[in-house]
Amino acid sequence: MRETNHILPPIFPYRYAIGAAAPFGISTPLSKLFLNQFQPVSLAAFLYLGCGIGISALFFARNAAPREKTKEITGPDRKDIPWLLGAIIAGGIFAPVLLFEGLSITTAATPSLLLNFEATATTIIAFFLFAEKMNEKSISALVFIALGGIILSLSGNTGTPLSLGAFAVIAACILWGFENNLTCRISTKDPLLITAVKGITAGTFLFLVSRIFNESLPSALIISGLMVLGFLCYGLSIFFFIKSLNIAGAARKSSMFATSPSIGVFGSWLIFPEKPGILFFATLIIMAAGTFLLFSEKEVTKNIRIP
C-alpha cells in the first residue's frame, strides 16, 4: 500500500538509500571542522540533539497537518523496545564517539574511506544473526572492503605501525552494523518517531556524560550551527535509512549505502588541504572495487524474520 501520511513524498526505493548516504557521508569532514571547539563526546551529543529536535519538529508538523485517511504508521510498541534501545546504545552513543575520537587523530579522508567497513559489518551480522542472504559476489566485495580497512589500520599517519584512529573508526562501523540490523527489526514502524527518539535519547545521554567530565563548550552560535548540521546530516540520513531498510533489508541496504564513504572522501579533499599518500590511493582503489561489487549485487535480498 502506498503511504500518503508522511511529510516527504514517496520516492523510488534506491533514492531513500542515497538520501541516507549523501548527508552522512559529508557529515564526517564537516564534523572535523568542529573538533577544534568540541571534544568527541560533546560533538556527538549536540549532533544527535540537533537530529532529535529537528526530526521531532517534522514529526509534530506532520501530525498537525491534515492527512488522507489511509493506513496509519504506528510507532514502536513494547516488543520493539529492546531493538530500539540496542540501536541507540550501539549506534547513537558509542559509535559516534569512537568515530570522532578516530577523526581527531587522522585526516578527514581516512575515516571517510573506512566507513566502507560499515557495509561489511552490516552484511556479515545480517547473514550470521538474521539469516539474510549472501553469495560469492557479495562475499568477494566484503573481502575487498575489509582488506582496505586492514591496510589503513596497519599504516599510521604518525609513523607508528598501527593507526589507533583507524581502529576506532572500524569499531564504530561494527557498532553501526549492529545498529543497522537492530533497526531493521522495527523499520516498518514510524521512521520519523524512531529517528526523533534516537536523536533525543542518545543526545541527552551524551550531553550528561560531557557535563560529568566537564568538557568545555564554545559559544551558543557554534553550538547552534553544529545542531543544524546534526539535523541535516544525521536526522535526515537516519530517516531515509529507516525507509530504505523497510524496502531493502539490512544486507541489501548496506550495498546502496556504500556510496556514503566516497562522498565523504571527496568532501574532505574539498574542505581540507590534505595530501594522502600512495597507500591511501591504493586502498581507495581496493575499496572502490569492493563497493562496486556490493552495489551491483542483485541477489542480496530481504529475508528477515521480524518477531
Which tens digit of pLDDT belongs to each residue from 244-257? 776 655 545 555 55
Global pTM value? 0.80
Q: What is the distance between the alpha carbons of residues 32 and 115, in angstroms, rounded to a whole number?
A: 15
pLDDT digits (tens, 9 = 90+) for 206-233: 999 999 999 999 999 999 999 999 999 9
Higher pLDDT: 152 or 164? It is 164
Q: Which residue has the higher pLDDT, 167 or 19?
A: 167
**What pLDDT, in 10s, does the model give residues 257-269?**
555 566 667 777 7
